[in-house]
Amino acid sequence: MPELPDVEVARRNLHRWMVGGTIVAARCADRYLLRPGSPRAFEHALVGRTVAGVERKGKWLKVVLDGPSASQGRRLFAHLGMTGDWTEGSAGDAENAAPRFERARIDLERRGRALVVRYLDSRRFGRLVVSSDDIVEWTSLGPDPLAGGLDVATLADAFARSRRPVKEIVMDQSVLAGIGNILATEALWRARLDPRSPGTTLSRSDVRAVARGLRDEIARELAEREDRGPDGPAPETYETDGTFNAYGRAGAPCPRDGAPLARVTLGGRSTVFCKVCQVLRR
DNA sequence: CGGCATGTTGCGCA
DNA sequence: TTGCGCAACATGCC
């Protein structure tokens, strides 16, 4: 599920489902997901509150809650980790039973209707954190690409300051929030730039190409998810169905020149690229 | 059984 | 101080 486009879709869904609703029950028994919180604190912080808004920065979500008085606002921060997802169903239907991998459940009342919002996460690398202030994981994020954070000057600055491979810089959440392994791999393929190139070696036009690659790939993935709609196929099924140019395609022909795509490890992450058309700066 | 996985953090070492 | 590499976290799937 989780890179910027997936999280943005989750944000829009949560916004549509929850804003204006009042939380009547909240349960999460998973202490690992709640770290450093507790099931009791989770329930206590949410029940009785009204949802005022749902925001996103990078891969983090922030659900803004209103208390009985304005000074009692609380926030629920959520990260999808590797396999997290949010779903919705109306309470009372046949599907009242907890689906597989349900880790948290929030019951709301909205416009006289009861609904259930669920957090599912098979691998449990996600987070659910309640706080009355912004948490450091949120405040230390760099600018978000969809909020105008993807400008060439900022990127050029980050590259100029580091000899680390360009792919690692782009995936650094304090440089740019929301870029994961798929977006970085695809953007660099689009930019025709070898992911191992040190940041300091990039030319002005390289930086522009990386920015354009990121922008285009984010837009493409967002459009793809919008096309499928909420009742489309399960997320897992659109990872490897031919929509990627490089990600997950090691050994297969590069769509541009037919050369077999190479695979290396950068920052502990699998990295696929074409040695023929993606130029290595040094 | 072995290997890989869309993410993040922390540790040890150069 | 910075930058790596690597393991760990917990689990599913091919």
The yes-or-no verdict on residue A161 having pLDDT over 50 is yes
Segments of chain A assigned E as strands: 22-28, 50-57, 60-66, 74-79, 84-90, 102-110, 113-121, 127-131, 262-266, 269-273
Q: Tokens representing A261?
A: 């795509």
pLDDT for res A90:
75
Nearest residue for C3, CA–C1': A164
Contact flag, residue A233 CB and nucleic strand C, below 7 A: no
- CA A219 to chain CA mean position, Å: 14
What is the spatial distance, in angstroms and rounded to an integer, between the CA atom of A249 and the C1' atom of C7? 26
* Sequence letter at residue A191: A
Q: Does residue A275 carry a catalytic annotation?
A: no
A124 touches strand C (CB under 7 A): yes
pLDDT confidence band for A185 (50 / 70 / 90): very high
- Report the protein residue whose CA lies nearest the C1' of nucleotide C7: A268
Which positions in strand B are less than 7 Å from the protein's CB atoms? Answer: 4-9
Q: Which of the following is catalytic: A110, A269, A275, A281?
A: A269
In this predicted model, what pLDDT tens digit does every residue of A89-144 receive, in sequence order?
876 555 567 788 899 999 999 999 999 999 999 989 999 999 999 999 999 999 99
Q: What does the pLDDT read at residue A238?
A: 38
A230 is catalytic: no
Spatial separation of the C-alpha atoms in residues A118 and A107, rounded to whole Å: 9
Question: Tell me: the pLDDT tens digits for A164-178?
Answer: 999 999 999 999 999
Which is the catalytic residue, given A49, A56, A57, A59? A59
Whether the beta carbon of A13 falls within 7 A of nucleic chain C: the reply is: no
State the Cα angle at A142 between A136 and A145, rounded to 5°. Answer: 135
Has residue A148 got a pLDDT over 60? yes
Residue A110: active-site member? no
Long-range contacts, stretch A64-68, CB < 8 angstroms, 24+ apart: A65/A23
Contact, A35 CB vs strand C, < 7 Å: no
Residue A245: per-residue pLDDT:
95
**Nucleotide with smallest C1' distance to residue A81 CA:** B7
Place of tokens 């793809």: A224
State yes or no: pLDDT of A150 exceeds 70.
Answer: yes
**Residue A135 CA to C2 C1' — how many Å?**
26
Reply yes or no on whether A233 is catalytic: no
Predicted confidence at residue A234, as pLDDT, reads: 45
What's the CA–C1' distance between A147 and C1, in Å?
33
pTM for the structure as a whole: 0.92
Q: Which among A173, A218, A181 is positioned nearest to A82, based on CA atoms?
A: A181
- What does pLDDT average to over chain A? 89
Closest to A214 measured CA to CA, from A139, A146, A143: A146
What is residue A235's predicted lDDT score, i.e. its pLDDT? 45
Tokens in use for A55?
A: 């925001």
In this complex, the answer to whether residue A265 has its CB under 7 A from any atom of chain C, a nucleic strand, is: yes
Q: What is the pLDDT of residues A209-242, one digit of tens each?
A: 999 999 999 999 999 887 665 544 444 433 444 5
Token pair 């130029």 is found at A279
Give the nucleotide with minimal C1' distance to the Cα of A265: C5
Residue A268, CB, less than 7 Å from strand B? yes
pLDDT one-digit tens code per residue, A22-68 = 999 999 999 989 988 899 999 999 999 999 999 999 999 999 999 76
Work out if A93's Cβ lies within 7 angstroms of strand B. no
